[in-house]
Homo-oligomer: A and B are copies of this chain.
Amino acid sequence: MDFVPRYKGQVDAALEEFFTNKIRGKSGIEKEAISKLREFTMRGGKRIRPLFMILGYWLNSDIDEKIIRASISLELMQSYLLIHDDIIDQSEVRRGGPTFHRMFSYEDRINEGVSIVCADLSDAYSHEALLATDFSSDRLNSAMKLMSEIVEMTGIGQLMDITLSLGDNITLDDVTAIHKYKTAQYTVNGPMKMGAILAGYKSPEKLDRYGLPLGIAFQIQDDILGMFGNEKELGKSVVSDFEEGKKTHLILYTYEMAKKNEVQFIKERLGKKGISNADFERVKEIIEGCGALEKTRELSRKYYESAIDSINDISNSPNQREQLKAMADLMVRRSS
C-alpha cells in the first residue's frame, strides 16, 4: 500500500484512540470540549505534518508504532493553531464544516472565549501525546525543543501576516518570509526534523534544503488554490482569502503587472466582505490576464525544483528518495 494512505490511516486511528482515552469518564463542559476537539480534528485534514514526521523518521529507522503515536502531537497542535487563526480572522468555514468557534451556541464573545481555551487544551494535549511515547528522554527532549521553536516561528509568521497585511507596504520578500515562518517550518521542515531527531538521524539540518523550499512552494500553491481552486474540494470558500485582504504573491504580482484601472478595481475590493460573483470572476480574470497567475505558478515551481534537487543528499535509499519526491509532488501538484 502507498505511503500516504497507509500511514494517514494509522495516524487517524491513533488520534481516535487518543480522544477516546481522553473523553472516558469526563462530563459537563470538559466532555463537550473534548468531543468538539475530536470532531474538529477528525473532520478533515490531510495529516501532512504527521506524514512528514514519519518520513523524517524513516530516514534513520524503520517506521513503527512509536512514531505514529508521536506524530499525532502535530495534529493536536494544528487544531490549537487553526482554532486561534479562525478566531483572529473571524472565519466561518474550515475543513468543510463550521470553524471551531462556530460549533458552540453561546453568544459570540463566549463562543470565542471558550474556543481560545479549548485551543489551549489542544496545545497541552499535543505535548502530552508526544511525551507519552517511549522514545529515550534525550530524543524526546530534543524533539520537544524543536516543537517549541516551530510554534514560536509560526507565531512570528502569524504576527507578520496580521500586521503587514494592514498597510500598503508589504513586499514580495515579506510574503515569502511569512510563508517560510508560518508554513515551511511548521508544515514541512519542522515535522520532518522532529521525526529525524526521534530516529537519531545525524544531520537534521540537511533537511532544511528540502523542507524550507517545499514548504514555500506549497504555500504559494495554497494561495493559488485559495482563489482558483474548487470550493468543495478545498472545504473552504474561495473568496475568503480575498475578503480577508490576504496580500499574496498573486496579488502583489498583479499590482506590478496589471493595468492601472485593473489594479484599482482589485484594490477597491480586496479585504472587503460580500464581493459579488461577477466582480470576483473579474478579479480572477485580471490576475490571470496580466500574467501574475503564471508568474506565481513559476515561482512555486522554482521552489519545488530546489527541494527536489536536495533529495539525493538526504538519503541513499531509492525507496526513500522516491517517497521524498512523491510527497513533494503531493504538496505542490495537488488540486485541493
Inter-chain CA distance A159–B114, complex, in Å, is 6
Among B81, B127, B128, B156, the residue within 8 A (CB) of A127 is B127
Once the chains bind, are B155 and A117 in contact (CB under 8 Å)?
yes
| Interface hits, A106-125 → B, CB 8 Å | 106, 109-110, 112-114, 116-118, 120-121, 123-125
A67 located at the interface, meaning its Cβ lies under 8 Å from any Cβ of chain B in the complex? no
Once the chains bind, are A149 and B137 in contact (CB under 8 Å)?
no
With known contacts A131-B141, A160-B29, A88–B106 Cβ distance under 8 A: no
Once the chains bind, are A84 and B120 in contact (CB under 8 Å)?
yes
* Contacting residues, chain B, for A87 (C-beta < 8 A): 113, 116
With known contacts A144-B131, A159-B114, A124–B138 Cβ distance under 8 A: no
Once the chains bind, are A117 and B149 in contact (CB under 8 Å)?
no
| Interface hits, A123-169 → B, CB 8 Å | 123-125, 127-128, 131, 136-138, 140-141, 144-145, 147-149, 151-152, 155-156, 158-160, 162-164, 166
Once the chains bind, are B166 and A30 in contact (CB under 8 Å)?
no
* Contacting residues, chain B, for A159 (C-beta < 8 A): 29-30, 33, 114, 117-118
Among B110, B151, B158, the residue within 8 A (CB) of A123 is B151
Once the chains bind, are A162 and B117 in contact (CB under 8 Å)?
yes
Shortest Cβ distance from A106 into B: residue: B166
Inter-chain CA distance A284–B217, complex, in Å, is 62
Among B89, B110, B124, B156, the residue within 8 A (CB) of A166 is B110
A-to-B contact residues, CB < 8 Å: 28-30, 33, 81, 84, 87-90, 106, 109-110, 112-114, 116-118, 120-121, 123-125, 127-128, 131, 136-138, 140-141, 144-145, 147-149, 151-152, 155-156, 158-160, 162-164, 166
Given contacts A114-B159, A128-B152, A131-B145, 19 further A-B contacts (CB under 8 A): A29-B163, A30-B156, A30-B160, A84-B116, A87-B113, A88-B112, A88-B113, A88-B116, A106-B163, A114-B162, A116-B116, A117-B155, A118-B155, A123-B151, A124-B149, A127-B144, A127-B145, A136-B137, A144-B144
Q: Across chains A and B, which 4 residue pairs bring their CB atoms closest together, nearest first?
A: A137-B137, A88-B113, A127-B148, A124-B152
